[in-house]
Amino acid sequence: MPKDAPAGECRFAIMVEADEPSLAKAGQVQLPIVGRIGIIVYVIVGDAAPKIEVFGPEVVSLNGQQVPALRVHNAGNAHTRMSGFLSGVDAEGKKYDFTPMELPILPDEVREVFLTPSINGNPSPTLTFPVTVQGTLEWSDQSLELNERFK
């Protein structure tokens, strides 16, 4: 790494692909198979770090269902991902666990972070709004205590 390299993040992918497709045979059916493996690499240069601003709350549509979401802006010079231990209650008093979407939030990106609900025996329940969500939302070496009402 050059000594004068500015702080930031370098992202690249290592892709491996077969030269020629192979044929998979099952009785009379023949299917061409092409495989590709990709590895995404993030390299932090210097003191690069994400700088997250959280806006919201919002209710958005995800796969045809209404879910709570937060709008997140990364004003930093490195990516991050959201995680956390969140729980909540809907308008009917049902208790849920919520998982923040874990897609990367790249530098200078504004993204909706969906808070996906789950309940024992039902991984994709339908919520009755308003919904209150609380817990700790985490990214990189930072966290935010969340206590929001989504209408």
Half-sphere exposure of 7 (CA within 13 A, CB side): 10
Q: Where in the chain are all domains bearing CATH 2.60.40? A: 52-150
**How distant, in Å, are the alpha carbons of 14, 66, 79, 86, 92 from that of 97?**
35, 15, 26, 6, 15
Which tokens hold the place of 96?
């849920």
Q: Where does the chain show beta strands of DSSP type E? A: 8-17, 22-26, 29-33, 36-45, 52-62, 65-74, 83-89, 95-100, 110-118, 131-139, 142-150
Answer yes or no: are the C-beta atoms of 66 and 129 closer than 8 Å.
yes
pTM: 0.78
Q: For the segment 38-92, what is each residue's pLDDT rounded down to a tens digit? A: 999 989 999 999 999 999 899 999 988 999 999 999 999 999 999 998 999 999 9
* Structural fold of domain 52-150: Immunoglobulin-like (2.60.40)
